[in-house]
Amino acid sequence: MKSIVRVALILLALIGMGAAEASQSAPASTKLSRRQAANLINTACTSEEHRELAQYFRQEAQRKRKKEQYYREVAATYRLHPPRVDAYRNGSTADLYSRLAEEVWNESLADDRMAQLQEQFANGLAKTSVNSQQ
């Protein structure tokens, strides 16, 4: 039992180190705040603005996938070691975190779809501006 927990912790550490290396090697880009993104959603009219929004939604989807992974890990931990309070509750803590993980997963899928739509808007605007110049 202890060896399973140790293996899981080692895997988490390796995944974390890999994610840290990947984030350091990624090029620095301007990151939009939620308020800036909300404003840009209402006012975007150029291809570049739609591409910025697509990048924002991709980052949000990635952030939510990390959150979903965390919730799944917590649920797995609670399945291995349920707290005493679960004995007199109507639902288990592991099930709660599993539901949270599922909700966040659905949100990340929606953000991925929004990023695709913004890319399509950007490409559509680029095509129409090329067609109007001809």
When pLDDT is averaged across residues 63-80 and rounded to a whole number, the result is 96
Query: Residue with structure tokens 């984030």?
Result: 23
Per-residue confidence band for 17, with pLDDT thresholds at 50, 70 and 90:
low
When pLDDT is averaged across residues 98-107 and rounded to a whole number, the result is 97
Rg (CA), the chain: 21
When pLDDT is averaged across residues 62-66 and rounded to a whole number, the result is 97
When pLDDT is averaged across residues 5-17 and rounded to a whole number, the result is 63
Whole-prediction pTM value? 0.68
Kindly list the domain boundaries of the chain, sorted by start residue. Answer: 29-133
pLDDT at 26 exceeding the cut of 60 = no
Q: Which of 21-35, 37-51, 97-111 has the lowest mean pLDDT?
A: 21-35
First CA to last CA distance, the chain:
70
Helix axes 47-80, 34-43, angle to 10 degrees: 140
User: What 3-state class would DSSP assign to 28?
Assistant: coil
- Whose CA is closest to 57, among 119, 129, 132, 126? 119
